[in-house]
Amino acid sequence: MAHAPLVSPDWLHDRLAAPDIVVLDASWYLPAAGRDPQAEFRAAHIPGARRFDLDAMSDTESSLPHMLPRPEVFAARMRALGIGDGMQIVAYDGQGLFSAPRVWWMLKAFGVRDALVLDGGLPAWVEAGYPTEEGEPRQPERRHFTARLDHGAVADADDVARALESGSAQVVDARSGTRFRGEEPEPRAGVRPGHMPGACNLHYAALQRDGRMKSPDELKSVFAENGVDPDRPIVTTCGSGVTAAIIALALETMGRPARSLYDGSWSEWGADPTRAVATGAP
């Protein structure tokens, strides 16, 4: 990519009318937030944005949340959104910097070279004084989209276990400290509280300020304070693979891309009785 993965509202506003740029509203919220991303999109979105429903765009046949779909399925859904090869894609969300990084990571995993994230999301866009529009977007013209999965970008449970055992990569968990330490129940039934033995904890919120990513120098300090060395290979994880992408985005911003993201994350590991679980501080 010719530039960093994060772009400002000014940058996007200046290019919004370009024919090769597409904006995706990638808003998704935890159930406890009590927010409806579809209704919020209809009420206000960046002009011309298309709605990227994270649940619908994931593997709907998996019992786990937000798993990557098969490449041909993802390609078909992107074509239906009117997104084609070679387009510059900017994802944003309504929280600032929460679910858009997951969509950015999905796009990269499927071979999109120019995937970007609006730093600060819709709140930053509105704060900058730029307009929104309401209603449903018009039906886009279908385009040809090619999806080629980069298998190296996606880790499974065995990959994580090997990394923890051998020390070949740091496994960094984006969940809150209380969830990581097992001090509160997991939101999904049948998932044990705690963390992978040997994993590090770096809550995704520590990487942000007011819904925007901290500067590379600040990020370096945050990683160090949490015992994570960004110069060594990193596998990111979280509850269901969403906020793990925020760590991946932070590393990309620092010029140190993550090795991979554990797609099943704690929803898979914590529910598997064959996988070891630790509680308390690491």
* pLDDT tens-digit map of 245-270: 999 999 999 999 999 999 999 999 99
Residue 84 and residue 178 in one domain: no
What percentage of the chain exceeds 70 in pLDDT?
Answer: 99
d(CA 53, CA 37): 9
pLDDT of residue 1 exceeding 50 = no
| Alpha-carbon gap, residue 191 to 66, rounded angstroms | 16
Cα radius of gyration rounded to whole Å, the chain: 18
On whether residue 190 sits in a domain, the answer given is yes
Tell me which residue has tokens 């499974």.
156
Q: Given a cut of 80, is residue 2 above it in pLDDT?
A: no
- For the record, the structure tokens of 139 come out as 């039906």
Question: How many separate domains does the chain show?
Answer: 2
Task: Respond yes or no: is residue 238 known to be catalytic.
Answer: yes
Residue 140 lies in a domain: no
Mean pLDDT of 82-99: 97
Residues constituting the chain:
282
Same structural domain, 14 and 124: yes
Question: Domain check: are 257 and 158 in the same one?
Answer: yes
Domain membership flag for residue 52: yes
Domain boundary among the residues 128, 143, 165 is at: 128
117 and 168 co-located in one domain = no
Pair (181, 238) in one structural domain: yes
Residue 136 resides in a domain: no
Strands of 50-51's sheet in order across: 6-7, 115-118, 88-92, 21-25, 50-51
User: Which residues constitute the domain of residue 222?
Assistant: 154-271
Tokens matching residue 12: 């996007």
Calculate the dihedral angle through the C-alpha atoms of 258, 262, 267, 271, rounding to the nearest 10 degrees: -130
- The domain spanning residue 27 has which CATH number? 3.40.250.10
In a domain, 180, yes or no: yes
90, 115, 238, 247: the catalytic one is 238
**Residue 185 to residues 180, 188, 212, Cα–Cα distance (Å):** 10, 9, 29
Please indicate, yes or no, whether residues 119 and 167 belong to a single structural domain of this protein.
Answer: no
Distances (CA, A) of 219 to 75, 97, 258: 34, 15, 14
